[in-house]
Amino acid sequence: MSAITRETVAHLAELARIEMKDDELTALASELEIIVESVKSVSDAVSDDIPATSHPLPLQNVFREDVVGNTLTAEEALDGAPDAEDGKFKVPAILDEG
Amino acid sequence: MTDIIKLSAAELVAKMESGELTSVEITQAHIDHIIATDGQPLDADNRAAGKSGLNAFLHLNAEEALEVARGVDEDRAAGKELPALAGVPIAIKDLIVTKGQPTTAASRMLEGWMSPYDGTVTQKVREARMPILGKTNLDEFAMGSTTEHSAFGVTRNPWSLDRIPGGSGGGSAVAVAGYQAPLALGTDTGGSIRQPAAVTGSVGVKPTYGSISRYGVIAMASSLDQVGPCARTVMDTALLHEAVAGHDPLDSTSQNRPVGNFVDAAREGAAEGGLKGLRVGVIKELSGEGFQEGVLNRFNESLELLKNAGAEIVEVSLPSVKEAIGAYYLIMSSEVSSNLAKYDGVRFGLRVLPEEGPITIERVMSATRAAGFGDEAKRRIILGTYALSAGYYDAYYGSAQKVRTLIQRDYAKAFEVADVLVSPTAPTTAFKLGAESKGDPMALYKGDIATVPTNLAGVPSISLPAGLADEDSLPVGIQFTAPAHEDARLYRVGAGLEALLESQWGAPLHEQMPDTLELIRDFDFGA
């Protein structure tokens, strides 16, 4: 487990789609380093024979009949969107043409 | 008017049934107190500057609340059958979606957003005919333990205005502790109901995972999140838990089993001999080192009371609890990074265009998320992205899930010798606002040590007041934990201890709280 550098954080920020300024990257790198250092013992505390628990209580997949329920109208669903047109979400260009 | 707002939900119901009070009178008294103590009715500038008062509310819903109250009064006058809590006003954490009122999660990302639908708990509150007073403040997206990470200003502790109200549900805890509402709904991912209850001298319950529907609750960490009740008495939390619990086909993690008899359990616990023979396990790892002396003093006195009431005190050990904070922060942040991916500036909320360069969707997402999320949200998203990234997944997320198994085994073993487990809720009383250690997030995260293990295990917990610490005269919380689906035990032991403590104090602890209006008058908000 390598140390967290400014570059590591820049890469993570790109993956997470959060634009970050230089000072943010530097501050986060040192904070993450502290966090990661102190959670390291977690991997030392376990061994291969221990099963992982993803949910606190046993869950089973739930099925229902494939029928139309009480759903939102397109208008209601679009009401909180930053931009909409012709009953659809409107987004900026998907491809970088600049 | 002061008397009305100090009454418990159970007392309010009795007074409405006897005709002594109407729901309109009750609702109006609470609205008046919110306006008097929360600030210039929720003025945005004051709020942002943290200057307005308690600042427990982000939105006041006075008109609709009074309309609901009027309807209840009319139906009661006409002799119609009403639900148990009809006419009792309630505040709702602003993480739960409500039709007709804004839902912000205390984030710029959702400022001004109106949900097109009600969460299931909101729907249940409406079916229970409870006037909704408004939406309460929180740490952004429920991430934090001080409410300082709200984008809309800090909430202040009514015991001392320069102290934290706890978090993330500081708003809901302060609303009930500060007499602004008899009841409130909160959510608890790692202690967000219980730690604010502890530091504000109120009662908060994190039910068994899946006991209350999470449909329409903005997700933080889905395998940990749980909705729960906040109030000033154990009985009131039992009443609210019963009113909003139950299976919900819209939440696949919702437990399909009958709701327990929490109110009966609370009544039995408070009755003479109600705690006789109850085996109470003191958690060795959570009742000594690292806990403030005044916290331990009150805790040990409570144990003494339980013993004198016929409970059997045993010591239990949860050895894996020392890894709980690490495992919790890995699992929680991983789930956060996934759950918060939906805030992309496309379907709802904020959209920010980059200041320069081409306007592409990816650049708009990055600019939107940079502007919309606060520091703590960003920190946790980045940590989660790291924990889930290729090459680290097994070491971090995978190991944390295994620790979760170990912690569950520890609990199972402890419950072989004890009916409930007990520890202080938080290591300290409310610390000062702004004291969060800069540059070392772990120092603050460690304060969650007693609360996160139960979220990891999915078991239910209650926090109730155990008195005031000697050092600072601030409230101390005591926490009981029961096995999954045995929430009723919490209400039994909680109400039992509450009765023992109150007979010692001569009155509920909140009677010792300073007068909020006087505190606000004398407080320098500019400081």
Domain containing residue B233: CATH number: 3.90.1300.10
E strand or H helix at A9:
helix A6-15
Q: What is the mean pLDDT of chain B?
A: 94
Segment among B39-53, B411-425, B464-478 with least mean pLDDT: B39-53
Distances (CA, A) of B345 to A97, B109, B353: 20, 9, 10
The answer, yes or no, to whether residue A98 has pLDDT greater than 60, is no
- Give the amino acid at B437: S
What sign for the dihedral angle of Cα B448, A55, B480, B134?
positive
pLDDT at B345 over 90: yes
> In this predicted model, what pLDDT tens digit does every residue of B239-252 receive, in sequence order?
999 999 999 999 99
B116–A80: do the CB atoms touch at under 8 Å? yes
Given this model, what pLDDT does residue B439 score? Answer: 67
Contact between B57 and B137 under an 8 Å Cβ cutoff? The reply is yes
Which pLDDT score, from 0 to 100, does residue A1 have? 46
Q: Which of B355-359, B372-376, B394-398 has the highest mean pLDDT?
A: B372-376
Contact between A55 and B329 using a beta-carbon 8 Å cutoff: no
Domain hosting B232: range is: 2-256+263-323+404-505
pLDDT of B42: 57
> Testing the interface with A: which of B98, B318, B402 to mutate, by most A Cβ within 10 A?
B402
In chain A, what residues touch B399 (CB-CB under 8 Å)? 42-43, 45-46
Q: State residue B435's pLDDT score.
A: 81
Predicted TM-score (pTM) of the model is 0.96
What is the band of B136 on the pLDDT scale with cuts at 50, 70, 90?
Answer: very high
For the segment A49-90, what is each residue's pLDDT rounded down to a tens digit?
A: 999 999 888 888 888 889 988 889 999 999 999 999 999 999
Which domains are assigned to chain A?
A: 1-40 (1.10.20)
CA dihedral B386, B392, B398, B404 (to 10 degrees): -50
Specify the DSSP element, H or E, that contains B297: helix B293-308
Does residue B241 lie within any of the structural domains?
yes
Instruction: Flag if B223 and A43 touch (Cβ within 8 Å).
Output: no
- Between chain A and chain B, how many beta carbons pairs sit less than 8 Å apart? 191
Residues 6+ apart with CB under 8 A from B304: none
Q: Which amino acid is present at B444?
A: L
Q: How far is CA B12 from CA B7, B48, B71, in A?
A: 6, 34, 17
- Does B296 reside within a domain? yes
- B208 part of a folded domain: yes
Query: Does B73 have pLDDT greater than 70?
Result: yes
**B176 found inside a domain:** yes
Interface of B with A in 348-387 (CB under 8 A): 348-351, 353-354, 357-367, 369-370, 373, 378-379, 381-383, 385-386
DSSP assignments along B310-322, one per residue: TPEEEEE--GGGG
Residues B44-57, mean pLDDT to the nearest whole number: 72
A65: closest CA of chain B, how far (Å): 12
**Would B384 be classed as within a structural domain?**
no
User: pLDDT-derived band of residue B39, with 50, 70 and 90 as boundaries?
Assistant: confident
Give the pairing of strands B132-136 and B183-187: unpaired
3-class SS of residue B505: helix
How far is the CA of A85 from the CAs of A74, B108, B412, B498, B499, in angstroms? 11, 24, 55, 58, 61
Using pLDDT thresholds of 50, 70 and 90, give the confidence band for residue B205.
very high
| Number of DSSP helices (H) and strands (E) in chain B, helices first | 19, 11
What does the pLDDT look like over B1-28, one tens digit per residue?
Answer: 459 999 999 999 999 999 999 999 999 9
Q: Is residue B395 part of a domain?
A: no
**Model ipTM value:** 0.94
**Residue of A28, A50, A82 with shortest CB distance to B382:** A28
Looking at the domain assignment, is residue B218 inside a domain? Answer: yes
By percentage, how much of chain B surpasses pLDDT 70? 96
How many domains would you assign to chain B? 1
User: Is the CB of residue A17 less than 8 Å from the CB of residue B365?
Assistant: yes
Q: Taking Cα atoms as reference points, which of B463, B464, B451, B472 lies closest to residue B509?
A: B464
